[in-house]
Structure 1
Amino acid sequence: MRLHPIYILRITGLLDGISLLVLLGIAMPLKYIWGIEQAVTIVGSIHGGIFCLYAAAILYAAIRVRWNLLWSAAALLAAFIPLGNFLLDRKLKKAQASYSVKPVSHALLVYSIVFFSFFDLFSQLPVMSTFATSVGASSFIVGFVIGLYSLSNTLGNILSGIMTDKIGPFKILMAGLLLTSIALLLYHFVDQPAFLIAVRILHGFVAGLIVPAAFTFSANTTTNEQQGKKVAFTGTFVGLAAIIGPAFSGIMASKTSVPFVFTCVAIMGLLLAFLSAVFLGKYKIAKKEKDAAVVHSSSLLFNAGVIKAYGGAFFLMFSQGAIAYLLPLHVQTLGYDSRLSGTLMSTFGIIAVLIFVLPTNRIFDRVAPSRTMAIGIGLMGLSQLVISQSTTTLTLYIVLGLYGVGFAFLFPSINTMLIKATPAELRGKAYGYFYAFFSLGVVAGSSVLGWLPFNIIEGFSFTGIILLLFAVFVAFNKEREHALNH
């Protein structure tokens, strides 16, 4: 008799909860009161390993049970709350009788791959600068190493798009998952800046193979009438990665080590590679006959809708880079604890996820993407202007919530716009360039504001004005919105 996926989740969840209590209640007192540092190292490593199994169980349950995504979100959040797993277990025990095991959903597996890719990215944010310093990197090399990932990621995105159109998304997904997992394991051997630079180039490049192929697979297996809703669900997994990734790596790195954190992420990648080989490899995408005009016309890859989608991707991440660069400085100048920056960023992620998951996601199939895109980029620009004038924690939370609404409107809109503006035969290449603009936006957002002679308020104002101007451009230059079905 096969074990129910929820039962497996409950067992691993209880083990995770017990190991967390041992870490907090026994190992940490042994370290900080009696000076036995090995206690946290040993117990933290065990807890990290159990958490990897627990995360795999959450993924397996989501794929086989197909329950509401809020269950998966609650299971992940419970892992960071003492006694959270035990409280959740009561709910899971009741739910186990209500949910039957279903065939593997290729859509949820692709969502999980998207989550892994962005979880890998966001888990680097709190730890990479300190890790680079620990292996002897100068302040210049630290900044160079962080930006280098995005630059090499851009090349991976472009290659992924080109190869996806030629050999299909499945093979590129498999290559990306396996090579990214190997690259993550290489951090264990980094002991000098030169080797770290080499690993960062490799890691960024192979990680860049995943997302364009995943989004192409998803787009090519979805009807045009459901593209907006499905992209919104995909955004849910991006948002969850943005919320959970930094918290996971920050906590685990403080208890164990940065290479151990990356090993946990690598295990997730290897598990997804195995599941993809078993289930996605058997899934056949219906092939459409290629129109010779479509195949040979590069103009279809750079029509008005595609260019707007690329612009939206660039300015979305430009805004993110500005937030990451300026918000901690703004919070610090106001005299608040630096932890407030982290909770503010989590706030915008939580708001975005709620809009993605709740029935509000239907708007992306009912309203033209150019309109929701203009609204999203406009709200993000407005929030940038208001952040600089916010001086209390309440107003900062409200403004970041507004920013989250804008993000939630923009992300599905630009994806839907790209899908509707490109034929399936060119969609891989289109997504490759699309996520290359994502990567370039991250680099530009922080570096441009660092180069310009702006103070914090001027930096926020400059970013807000740029976003609002782009919103006006989108609103008053409506694209030719039609699906390319032939």
Structure 2
Amino acid sequence: MKAIRLLTSPIHWLRWTGIADGVSLLVLLGIAMPLKYIANYPYAVTVAGSVHGCIFILYALAIIYTQVRIQWHVKWSFFAVFVAFIPFGNFIYDVFLKKQQNTFTIKPIPKIWLIYIIIFFTFIDLFTQLPVMSTFATSVGATTMLAGFIVGVYSFTNIFGNILSGVLTDRYGAFIVLCISLLTTSISLNLYNAITSVEGLFIVRCIHGFFGGLIVPAAFTYLANQTKNDRHGSQNAFTGSFVGIAAIVGPAYSGIMASKTSVPFVFMTVAIFGFLLFLITILLFKKQQAQASTKELQSDKFIFNQGVIQSFAGAFLLMFSQGALAYLLPLHVEALGYSSRLSGTLLSMFGIVAVALFLLPTNKLFDRISPFISFSIGLGSMGVSQILIGQANTAALLYACLALYGVGFAFLFPAINLLLIQATTPKTRGKAYGYFYAFFSIGVIVGSSGLGLLTVAIPVQFLITGILLTSCVGIVFMFNKPYHVIKKTRRLASRQAKTEG
């Protein structure tokens, strides 16, 4: 019995896959890399990189399984991922696990955790594309301009997937949409293995973008409808941590693995992850879906009220800022004389700060402060950060600016989700999230492509982006003046009642 418990223990699998991952990383760095660059034997890196990639996938699955079954604080899963990129890091982490493994208990799998993992998969799918897609496009014969178009068409077709997902989620429920989208996204990721021409890559990018766009609206709608009203702020912050972790892990994983294996191999590993989630989703949600009544799935009329419009505007501005940063930051870093590696670590800085604010007790702030205040703090911080980045001329200043940007992201992301939830009903939330993430995609396209049309210096483009974001803070307060007057009146009335009492 003890042997069976060890074999089924999540901590057991996490420890052993972590040790295997640590050993394979040391073999890759300490043996294969010297054989390639000193002994001129590049095949060693190809083999060691492939083995390390497969082991890392098993390790990542063990982390997810442990998080779901043990349900410890998500920061420990974050540390488990973090140490995988540091030589000997897995062994140090294993010491902790060995000491603490008897204190952990296995718990039933909560369905909501599967939704968090699906959201993580969606953004891992997105962020693994960023460092490798343009170079992959040129490798099959695309020009630099055409490569940029191939990168952007994913976000363009995302728009149609987002909108369709919202309609289908309100009509048929999140379960069906999630199952279809996970399966089709996994299939489309495997299509990259068959790419031999620019035309073929363009078609696959369209298919991938469309089906990938189906997942997020359904997942966020399910989360919103399952969360208590007084917990929506912190829940959205917690969800944002999975987006942030994907933003940190995704580019690093694809950049390293693509250099050791190939871009299609990277996408195939992500596809395997998605297919496993498809199977788990069917097993966990099928019974719940069968019990849902037709009445519960009927849709009300969707209304574009003030809260919805502000949420959509916030989604657009958030991703416009992200697109501008992804486009301008590498150019700015290069102009200052730094290597491209600094761009990656700067983007990681913003992600780390945002994830920290999402996971630490600071996430309780998002339940206590008004979403309009959080919206303004977030948008203002991101705007000021964009202006300062354009003026920064040292690595230290750039890191400080990106840390401020991370603070802004951490305040803005939960705020725009909370505005949307408060302005909709459960029966119209699918459509709302469909449009919401369509504005996400539009923001990326405008931010990365629109600024490229301006024939001005890079610092000026940062300045324009920052002024646009900070100006919108004033607009938010202007449109919400009645709301703040009502809140102030209620506070005064409450104080007066207490005084009279």
Residues 193, 264 of structure 2: 8 Å contact kept: yes
Q: 2:467 aligns with which of 465, 468, 473?
A: 465
Q: Distance in 1 between matches of 2:274 and 2:130?
A: 18
The CA deviation string for residues 34-72 of structure 1, in whole angstroms up to 9 with x for no partner, is 222221111211111111111111111111110011111
Measure, in 2, the Cα distance between the counterparts of 1:404 and 1:418: 22
Q: Mean alpha-carbon deviation: is it higher for 263-272 or for 437-446?
A: 263-272
Which of 376, 382, 390 is matched with 1:374 structurally? 376
2:443 maps to 441
Q: Is 223-232 or 331-340 further displaced after alignment? A: 331-340
> In the aligned structure 2, how far is the partner of 1:15 from the partner of 1:203?
32
Kept in 1, the 8 Å contact 2:350–2:405? The answer is yes
Superposed counterparts of 1:74-473, under 5 Å: 74-283=79-288, 295=300, 297-298=301-302, 300=303, 302-473=304-475
Deviations 1:150-177 (A, max 9, x none): 0011111011000000110011111111
Task: Determine if contact 1:252/1:261 at 8 Å carries over to the other structure.
Answer: yes
- Amino acid aligned to 1:432: G
Change (3 A) 1:214 1:69: same
Secondary structure of the 2:287 match is coil
Distance 1:29 1:282 in 2: 54
1:274 and 1:309 map into 2 onto residues whose CA distance is 33
CA distance in 1, matches of 2:20, 2:356: 29
Deviation, 1:145, is 0.4
* One-letter identity of the residue aligned with 1:311: A
| CA distances 1:190-210 after superposition (whole Å, capped 9, x unpaired) | 011010001000000000011
Q: Does the residue aligned with 1:97 lie in a helix, a strand or coil?
A: helix
Q: What letter matches 1:437 in structure 2?
A: F
Report the Cα distance in structure 2 between the residues aligned to 1:10 and 1:219, rounded to whole angstroms: 34
Q: Say if 1:146 and 1:471 are closer, same or farther in 2 by CA, change over 3 A.
A: same
Distance apart, 1:121 and its partner CA:
0.3
Identity %: 56
> In the alignment, residue 241 of structure 2 is paired with which amino acid?
T
Contact 2:172 2:297 in 1 (8 A): no
AA at the equivalent of 2:56: F
The amino acid that maps onto 1:272 is L
Deviation at 1:140, TM superposition (A): 2.2
Choose from 26, 33, 37 the match for 1:32. 37
Indicate if the aligned counterparts of 1:56 and 1:271 stay in contact, CA closer than 8 A. no
CA–CA distance in structure 2, aligned partners of residues 351 and 425 of structure 1: 35
Q: 2:478, 2:294 → 1: CA distance?
A: 35
8 Å contact from structure 1 (residues 52, 267) kept in 2: no
Does the CA-based 8 Å contact 1:104-1:279 persist in structure 2? no
Work out which of the residue numbers 48, 51, 57 in structure 2 matches 1:52.
57
Aligned-residue offset at 1:475:
2.0
Asked if structure 2 preserves the Cα contact closer than 8 Å seen for 1:304 and 1:480, the reply is no
CA distance in 1, matches of 2:129, 2:323: 15
Match of 1:21 in 2: 26
Where 1:132 maps in the other structure, the secondary structure is helix
Q: Which amino acid aligns with 1:261?
A: V
| Residues matched between the structures, number | 478
User: Normalized against structure 2, the TM-score is what?
Assistant: 0.93
What is the one-letter code of the residue matched to 2:102?
Answer: A
Shift of 1:281: 2.8
Q: Using the TM superposition, give the Cα deviation of residue 95 of structure 1 relative to its aligned residue in structure 2, in angstroms.
A: 2.4
Letter in 1 for 2:236: V
Give the 3-state SS of the residue equivalent to 2:338 in structure 1: coil
Higher Cα Rg, which structure = 2
- Give, as a single letter, the amino acid of the residue that structure 2 aligns with 1:226: R
* Deviation string, structure 1 residues 380-418 (Cα, Å, up to 9, x no partner): 111111111111111111111111000000000000110
- Aligned equivalent of 2:495: none
Displacement, 1:289? 6.2
Tell me the amino acid that sits aligned with residue 72 of structure 1.
S
SS for the counterpart of 1:424 is coil
Aligned to 1:425, the other structure's residue is in SS state: coil
CA distance in 2, matches of 1:331, 1:84: 30
Structure 1 residue 215: Cα displacement: 0.2
Aligned residue identity for 1:459 = Q
Is 1:173–1:214's contact at 8 Å kept on the other side of the alignment?
Answer: yes
Residue 280 of structure 1, CA deviation: 2.8
Secondary structure, aligned partner of 2:39: coil
User: What's the CA shift for 1:286?
Assistant: 7.3
Conservation of the 8 A alpha-carbon contact between 1:376 and 1:410: yes
Kept after mapping to 1: 8 A contact 2:166/2:431: yes
Amino acid at match of 1:124: Q
Conserved? CA contact 2:257–2:266, under 8 Å: yes
Q: For 1:41 and 1:391, how far apart are their aligned partners in 2?
A: 38
For residue 280 of structure 1, what is the amino acid of its counterpart? F
Offset of 1:291 from its aligned partner? 12
Tell me, in whole angstroms, the C-alpha distance in 1 between the residues paired with 2:266 and 2:59: 15
The 2-side partners of 1:290 and 1:98 are apart by 42
Q: Distance in 2 between matches of 1:321 and 1:287?
A: 42
> Any unmatched runs of 5+ in structure 2?
487-501
* 1:58 to 1:386, Cα distance in 2 relative to 1, 3 A: same
Q: d(CA) in 1 for partners of 2:401 and 2:145? A: 33
TM superposition shift of 1:337: 1.8
Secondary structure of 1:191's counterpart equals: coil
For the 8 Å contact 1:305–1:480, the answer to whether it is kept is no
Tell me how far apart the structure 1 counterparts of residues 372 and 294 of structure 2 sit (CA, whole Å): 27
CA contact (8 A) 1:12 1:53 kept: yes
Which segment drifts farther, 365-374 or 404-413?
365-374
Question: 1:177-197 CA deviation, whole Å, 9 max, x = no partner?
Answer: 111111111111101101000
In the TM superposition, what is the alpha-carbon distance from 1:452 to its structure 2 partner?
1.7
SS at match of 1:388: helix
CA RMSD of aligned residues (A): 1.8
